[in-house]
Amino acid sequence: MNVRSTESIQSCVKSLDRSDILVNNAGLYLLGPVSDLQLDDTRNLFEVNVFSQLAVTQAFLPLLLGSPRAMIVNNISSGSPAALPFQGTYKASKAALAMYSASLRLELQPFGTDLRTGMVHSNLVENHAGRDDKLRLPATSIYAPAAHIGEKFMRYGIAVKSEPADVWAKGTVGDILKKNPPPLIWRGGSA
Protein backbone atom coordinates (compact mmCIF):
# COMPACT_ATOMS: atom_id res chain seq x y z
CA MET A 1 0.00 0.00 0.00
CA ASN A 2 1.05 3.59 -0.39
CA VAL A 3 1.46 4.71 3.23
CA ARG A 4 1.18 8.36 2.19
CA SER A 5 -2.28 7.82 0.71
CA THR A 6 -5.34 7.70 2.95
CA GLU A 7 -7.27 6.01 0.14
CA SER A 8 -4.62 3.30 -0.26
CA ILE A 9 -4.52 2.65 3.49
CA GLN A 10 -8.33 2.48 3.74
CA SER A 11 -8.51 0.19 0.71
CA CYS A 12 -6.09 -2.21 2.37
CA VAL A 13 -8.00 -2.16 5.66
CA LYS A 14 -11.33 -2.79 3.86
CA SER A 15 -9.84 -5.81 2.06
CA LEU A 16 -9.27 -7.60 5.39
CA ASP A 17 -11.71 -9.31 7.71
CA ARG A 18 -9.23 -9.28 10.59
CA SER A 19 -5.65 -8.49 11.47
CA ASP A 20 -3.47 -9.98 14.18
CA ILE A 21 -0.17 -8.25 13.51
CA LEU A 22 0.59 -4.88 11.97
CA VAL A 23 4.21 -4.27 10.95
CA ASN A 24 5.01 -0.65 10.17
CA ASN A 25 8.06 -1.12 7.95
CA ALA A 26 7.94 1.71 5.41
CA GLY A 27 10.85 4.09 5.61
CA LEU A 28 13.08 6.56 3.84
CA TYR A 29 16.76 7.35 4.30
CA LEU A 30 18.24 10.83 4.10
CA LEU A 31 21.87 11.78 4.55
CA GLY A 32 23.64 15.09 4.76
CA PRO A 33 24.61 17.81 7.19
CA VAL A 34 21.58 19.31 8.91
CA SER A 35 22.80 22.71 7.72
CA ASP A 36 22.56 21.64 4.05
CA LEU A 37 19.38 19.54 3.88
CA GLN A 38 16.42 20.82 1.90
CA LEU A 39 13.38 21.38 4.11
CA ASP A 40 11.09 19.65 1.59
CA ASP A 41 13.28 16.51 1.73
CA THR A 42 13.19 16.61 5.53
CA ARG A 43 9.39 17.00 5.58
CA ASN A 44 9.06 14.06 3.18
CA LEU A 45 11.28 11.94 5.42
CA PHE A 46 9.17 12.69 8.50
CA GLU A 47 5.98 12.15 6.49
CA VAL A 48 7.01 8.58 5.66
CA ASN A 49 9.04 7.65 8.74
CA VAL A 50 6.69 9.09 11.37
CA PHE A 51 3.31 10.43 10.22
CA SER A 52 2.46 7.56 7.85
CA GLN A 53 3.15 5.08 10.67
CA LEU A 54 0.58 6.89 12.80
CA ALA A 55 -1.96 6.93 9.95
CA VAL A 56 -1.55 3.21 9.25
CA THR A 57 -1.74 2.32 12.95
CA GLN A 58 -4.92 4.36 13.46
CA ALA A 59 -6.53 2.79 10.38
CA PHE A 60 -5.71 -0.79 11.43
CA LEU A 61 -6.50 -0.37 15.12
CA PRO A 62 -10.20 -1.39 14.86
CA LEU A 63 -9.17 -4.68 13.20
CA LEU A 64 -6.43 -5.28 15.75
CA LEU A 65 -8.71 -4.65 18.73
CA GLY A 66 -10.79 -7.63 17.60
CA SER A 67 -7.83 -10.01 17.73
CA PRO A 68 -6.85 -12.00 20.82
CA ARG A 69 -3.20 -11.89 19.66
CA ALA A 70 -2.96 -8.32 18.40
CA MET A 71 0.47 -6.80 17.96
CA ILE A 72 1.82 -3.60 16.45
CA VAL A 73 5.48 -3.75 15.41
CA ASN A 74 7.24 -0.51 14.49
CA ASN A 75 10.51 -0.95 12.62
CA ILE A 76 12.84 1.56 14.23
CA SER A 77 16.54 1.89 13.54
CA SER A 78 18.77 0.37 16.22
CA GLY A 79 20.87 3.50 15.85
CA SER A 80 18.04 5.92 16.67
CA PRO A 81 19.45 6.79 20.12
CA ALA A 82 22.95 7.54 18.76
CA ALA A 83 23.95 10.70 16.94
CA LEU A 84 26.18 10.41 13.88
CA PRO A 85 27.37 13.16 11.56
CA PHE A 86 25.30 13.64 8.40
CA GLN A 87 22.52 11.38 9.73
CA GLY A 88 20.83 13.84 12.10
CA THR A 89 17.55 14.17 10.26
CA TYR A 90 17.20 10.44 9.57
CA LYS A 91 18.01 9.64 13.19
CA ALA A 92 15.61 12.35 14.42
CA SER A 93 12.77 10.75 12.42
CA LYS A 94 13.54 7.33 13.89
CA ALA A 95 13.83 8.78 17.40
CA ALA A 96 10.41 10.39 16.95
CA LEU A 97 8.99 7.02 15.87
CA ALA A 98 10.63 5.37 18.90
CA MET A 99 8.93 7.84 21.27
CA TYR A 100 5.60 7.40 19.48
CA SER A 101 6.00 3.64 19.73
CA ALA A 102 6.88 3.76 23.45
CA SER A 103 3.76 5.85 24.11
CA LEU A 104 1.69 3.43 22.03
CA ARG A 105 2.97 0.56 24.18
CA LEU A 106 1.75 2.35 27.31
CA GLU A 107 -1.63 3.22 25.82
CA LEU A 108 -2.32 -0.14 24.17
CA GLN A 109 -0.37 -2.48 26.38
CA PRO A 110 0.63 -5.19 25.43
CA PHE A 111 0.18 -4.44 21.71
CA GLY A 112 3.39 -2.62 20.91
CA THR A 113 6.81 -3.96 20.04
CA ASP A 114 9.77 -1.96 18.80
CA LEU A 115 11.85 -3.66 16.17
CA ARG A 116 15.30 -2.07 16.47
CA THR A 117 16.85 -3.02 13.16
CA GLY A 118 20.57 -2.70 12.58
CA MET A 119 22.22 -3.11 9.21
CA VAL A 120 20.32 -5.45 6.90
CA HIS A 121 21.20 -5.96 3.29
CA SER A 122 18.14 -4.35 1.73
CA ASN A 123 17.46 -1.74 -0.89
CA LEU A 124 17.09 1.16 1.58
CA VAL A 125 20.69 2.34 1.47
CA GLU A 126 21.23 1.28 -2.15
CA ASN A 127 18.18 3.27 -3.29
CA HIS A 128 19.57 6.33 -1.57
CA ALA A 129 23.19 5.71 -2.61
CA GLY A 130 22.07 5.31 -6.21
CA ARG A 131 20.99 8.96 -6.20
CA ASP A 132 24.34 10.65 -6.62
CA ASP A 133 22.75 14.10 -6.29
CA LYS A 134 21.82 13.21 -2.69
CA LEU A 135 25.39 12.22 -1.86
CA ARG A 136 27.08 15.47 -2.82
CA LEU A 137 27.55 18.45 -0.58
CA PRO A 138 26.47 21.76 -2.08
CA ALA A 139 29.23 24.18 -3.04
CA THR A 140 27.85 26.54 -0.39
CA SER A 141 28.16 23.96 2.40
CA ILE A 142 30.22 24.87 5.43
CA TYR A 143 31.81 21.45 4.83
CA ALA A 144 32.80 22.24 1.21
CA PRO A 145 36.53 22.49 2.03
CA ALA A 146 36.42 18.86 3.20
CA ALA A 147 33.72 17.66 0.79
CA HIS A 148 35.74 14.63 -0.27
CA ILE A 149 35.72 13.34 3.32
CA GLY A 150 32.04 14.16 3.98
CA GLU A 151 30.86 12.66 0.70
CA LYS A 152 32.90 9.50 1.33
CA PHE A 153 31.22 9.16 4.74
CA MET A 154 27.80 9.70 3.15
CA ARG A 155 28.48 6.96 0.58
CA TYR A 156 30.07 4.37 2.82
CA GLY A 157 29.23 5.38 6.40
CA ILE A 158 30.70 3.37 9.21
CA ALA A 159 31.91 -0.11 8.37
CA VAL A 160 29.21 -2.35 9.82
CA LYS A 161 28.51 -5.85 8.64
CA SER A 162 25.04 -6.23 7.16
CA GLU A 163 22.87 -9.21 7.93
CA PRO A 164 21.21 -10.96 4.96
CA ALA A 165 17.54 -9.97 4.68
CA ASP A 166 16.30 -13.57 4.88
CA VAL A 167 18.25 -14.19 8.12
CA TRP A 168 16.90 -10.95 9.60
CA ALA A 169 13.34 -11.81 8.53
CA LYS A 170 13.44 -15.36 9.94
CA GLY A 171 14.78 -14.14 13.30
CA THR A 172 12.33 -11.24 13.45
CA VAL A 173 9.30 -13.40 12.66
CA GLY A 174 10.46 -15.93 15.27
CA ASP A 175 10.66 -13.17 17.89
CA ILE A 176 7.27 -11.69 16.97
CA LEU A 177 5.50 -15.05 17.09
CA LYS A 178 6.80 -16.02 20.54
CA LYS A 179 4.12 -16.64 23.13
CA ASN A 180 5.35 -13.57 25.04
CA PRO A 181 7.22 -11.43 22.52
CA PRO A 182 9.67 -8.92 23.96
CA PRO A 183 8.81 -5.19 23.87
CA LEU A 184 12.13 -4.55 22.12
CA ILE A 185 13.54 -6.79 19.40
CA TRP A 186 17.13 -6.18 18.32
CA ARG A 187 17.99 -7.66 14.90
CA GLY A 188 20.48 -6.92 12.13
CA GLY A 189 24.18 -6.14 11.94
CA SER A 190 25.49 -4.24 14.99
CA ALA A 191 22.03 -4.09 16.58
Active-site residue list: 90, 94
Beta bridge partners of 121: 164
Domains and CATH numbers, the chain: 12-187 (3.40.50.720)
- Residues 73-129: pLDDT tens digits? 998 887 777 777 888 899 999 999 999 988 888 888 767 777 787 777 766 655 655
The whole-number pLDDT of residue 132 equals: 57
Per-residue pLDDT of the chain (191 residues; tens, 9 = 90+): 999 999 999 999 999 999 999 999 998 888 888 888 899 999 999 999 999 999 999 999 999 998 888 889 998 887 777 777 888 899 999 999 999 988 888 888 767 777 787 777 766 655 655 555 667 777 888 777 777 777 666 666 655 677 888 998 899 899 988 888 888 888 888 77
State the angle between helix axes of 52-65 and 6-14 in degrees (0 to 180), rounded to the nearest 10: 20
Helix H, strand E, coil C: the string for the chain is CCCCCHHHHHHHHHCCCCCCEEEECCCCCCCCCCCCCCHHHHHHHHHHHHHHHHHHHHHHHHHHHCCCCCEEEEEEECCCCCCCCCCHHHHHHHHHHHHHHHHHHHHCCCCEEEEEECEEECHHHHHHHCCHHHHCCCCCCCCHHHHHHHHHHHHHCCCCCCEEHHHHHHHHHHHHCCCCCCCEEEECECC
